[in-house]
């Protein structure tokens, strides 16, 4: 079985590394030549735990990488499409990369007897595979089931645990209308995964909707607990973590994604929720709950700014320390990071920013250049600062000793993740969601 993976971002490269490590013949394809050169050397262009070691194994076992779709691509048995699906300025899904891939595949499928199975793994709104991708592939007399098979197979990876999720997915969804092609992919997965992995067969549009339903529900849980955290913040003695812990004991709820914080970010939840809202509006339903989830998340940064302005009377020239730049721990991803957006607001207020993150400094420096100061040790954020805001729950931040916080001008900490254990009364500690500030 030969496999091609088109798009070597977070999803595609994780899949290529895992399949290649299983000694499956894999060809990875990406238009970004700079990225490709790094990957060919065994160096992922982004940080993801365990990815580098799996990528090295894959390369050692013969995984190759190319910069374009050719007739050779069509000779693969399975062609996974894992390109990005950003949103446009109107918050609608932008399918330009998907359409480009479909065009290239169609151009190269003529004059070949090989019938590949094309699998849309990118996140796309319901109907995209059938009503957008299929017509492009069939544009010049090609026909599904005759010249190619077409399936939808969404992914459910979490940044920071992408390899673990690729190796042991909680569910595998195969969407399609052709039994033969569905069975082909099912048998492929049965060979590389254990019998414990649940495989669900459905149609293309339902498979597409399942992905959006998952992400939207998880985003809803985050916004829900963040709303509770704001209420808890205003009640003396109430701790949102205790509330969430007991909620999580209820098997109907579970504890995952019930950790209050500064709001969700990253490459998936923000864009996918907005895309689903726009899609829902386009089919005639105004999704008020999803809109509220989105608005609640956007409001989190205002809550943090209100805490800052309430405790610092003059922001101009105030030195603000930022602990954590990535949108979550165990990644260097700063897309839709609350930290980045907060820094932008503070710079508009003429604040001076000093920041630390164990993984995301390089990515953040590309945005701010020399407008803010980056330090290599978290303790250095403390010196002569007016306020420290902890935004990303890196474990090493819990190891900062209290004596370092006493080096601040007037010790003030806003901990949006409530991971610091501050006992010294000289330090004003505000844990978001921990009683009256």
User: What share of residues in the chain are helix, strand, coil (percent, to 5)?
Assistant: 45, 15, 45
At 70 the pLDDT is 97
DSSP collapsed to 3 states, 244-255: HHHHHHCCCCCC
Residue 195 has pLDDT above 80, yes or no: no
Residue 227 has pLDDT above 60, yes or no: yes
Instruction: Determine the average pLDDT of the residues in 1-7.
Output: 97
At 197 the pLDDT is 81
Q: What is the Cα 39 distance to its own chain's centre?
A: 20
Residue 429 has pLDDT above 80, yes or no: yes
Instruction: Determine the average pLDDT of the residues in 218-230.
Output: 97
Instruction: Determine the average pLDDT of the residues in 89-106.
Output: 97
Residue 119 has pLDDT above 60, yes or no: yes
Kindly list the distances between the CA atom of residue 240 and the CA atoms of 141, 248, 259, 262, 295, in Å, as whole numbers in the listed order: 60, 12, 9, 13, 20
Residue 347 has pLDDT above 90, yes or no: yes
**For 153, left (φ over 0), alpha (ψ -120 to 50), or beta?**
beta
Which is more confident, 111 or 285?
Answer: 285
CB 407 within 8 A of CB 319: no
- The catalytic site residues sit at 268
According to DSSP, the residues that pair with 28 across neighbouring strands are 5, 65
Kindly list the structural domains of the chain, giving each domain's residue range(s) and its CATH number in brackets, ordered by start. 2-202 (3.40.50.720), 218-431 (3.40.50.720)
Residues 148-174 have pLDDT tens digits of: 999 999 999 999 999 999 999 999 999
Residues 388-416 have pLDDT tens digits of: 999 999 999 999 999 999 999 999 999 99
Instruction: Determine the average pLDDT of the residues in 21-48.
Output: 96
User: What values do phi and psi take at 414, rounded to 5?
Assistant: -110, 105
At 194 the pLDDT is 78
Residues 134-147 have pLDDT tens digits of: 999 999 999 999 99
- pLDDT > 90 fraction of the chain, expressed in percent and rounded: 97
Residue 436 has pLDDT above 70, yes or no: no
Outline where 29-145 has alpha helix (H): 33-40, 51-60, 71-74, 96-109, 128, 134-137
Residue 52 has pLDDT above 90, yes or no: yes
Residue 437 has pLDDT above 70, yes or no: no
Q: What pTM was computed for the model?
A: 0.94
At 168 the pLDDT is 94
Instruction: Determine the average pLDDT of the residues in 1-14.
Output: 97
Q: 324: Cβ–Cβ under 8 A, 6 or more apart, which residues?
A: 339, 356, 357, 390, 391, 392, 393, 394, 397
Residue 335 DSSP one-character state:
T
Residue 435 has pLDDT above 90, yes or no: no
């Amino acid at each position: 079985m030969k496999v091609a993976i088109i798009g070597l971002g977070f999803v595609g490269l994780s899949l290529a590394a895992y399949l290649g490590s299983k000694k499956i013949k894999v060809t990875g394809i990406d238009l970004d030549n700079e990225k490709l050169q790094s990957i060919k050397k065994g160096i992922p262009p982004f940080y993801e735990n365990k990815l580098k070691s799996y990528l090295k194994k894959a390369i050692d076992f013969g995984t190759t990488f190319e910069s374009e779709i050719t007739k050779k691509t069509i000779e693969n048995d399975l062609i996974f499409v894992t390109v990005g699906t950003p949103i446009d300025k109107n918050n609608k899904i932008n399918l330009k990369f998907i359409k480009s891939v479909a065009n290239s595949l169609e151009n190269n499928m003529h004059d070949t007897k090989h019938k590949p199975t094309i699998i849309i793994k990118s996140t796309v709104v319901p109907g995209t595979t059938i009503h957008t991708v299929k017509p492009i592939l069939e544009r010049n007399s090609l026909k599904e089931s005759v010249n190619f098979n077409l399936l939808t197979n969404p992914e459910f990876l979490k940044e920071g645990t992408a390899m673990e999720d690729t190796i042991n997915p909680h569910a595998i969804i195969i969407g399609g209308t052709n039994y033969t092609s569905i069975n082909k992919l099912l048998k492929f997965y049965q060979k590389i995964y254990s019998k414990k992995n649940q495989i669900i067969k459905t149609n293309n549009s339902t498979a597409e909707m399942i992905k959006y339903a998952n992400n939207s529900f998880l985003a809803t849980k985050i916004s829900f607990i963040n709303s509770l955290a704001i209420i808890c913040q205003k009640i003396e003695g109430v701790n949102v973590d205790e509330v969430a812990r007991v909620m999580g004991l209820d098997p109907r709820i579970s504890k995952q994604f019930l950790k209050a914080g500064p709001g969700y970010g990253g490459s998936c939840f923000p864009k996918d929720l907005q895309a689903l809202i726009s899609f829902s509006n386009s089919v005639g339903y105004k999704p008020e709950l999803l809109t509220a989830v989105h608005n609640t998340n956007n409001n989190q940064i205002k809550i943090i700014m209100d805490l800052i302005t309430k405790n610092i009377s003059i922001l101009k020239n105030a030195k603000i320390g930022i602990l954590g730049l990535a949108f979550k721990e165990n990644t260097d991803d700063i897309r839709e990071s609350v930290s980045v957006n907060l820094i932008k607001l503070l710079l508009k207020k003429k604040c001076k920013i000093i920041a630390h993150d164990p993984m995301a400094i390089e990515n953040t420096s590309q945005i701010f250049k020399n407008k803010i100061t980056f330090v290599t040790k978290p303790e250095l954020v403390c010196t002569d600062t007016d306020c420290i805001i902890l935004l990303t729950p890196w474990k090493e931040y819990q190891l900062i000793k209290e004596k370092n916080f006493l080096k601040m001008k007037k010790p003030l900490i806003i901990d949006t993740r409530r991971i610091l254990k501050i006992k010294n009364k000289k330090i004003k500690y505000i844990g978001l969601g921990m009683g009256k500030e």
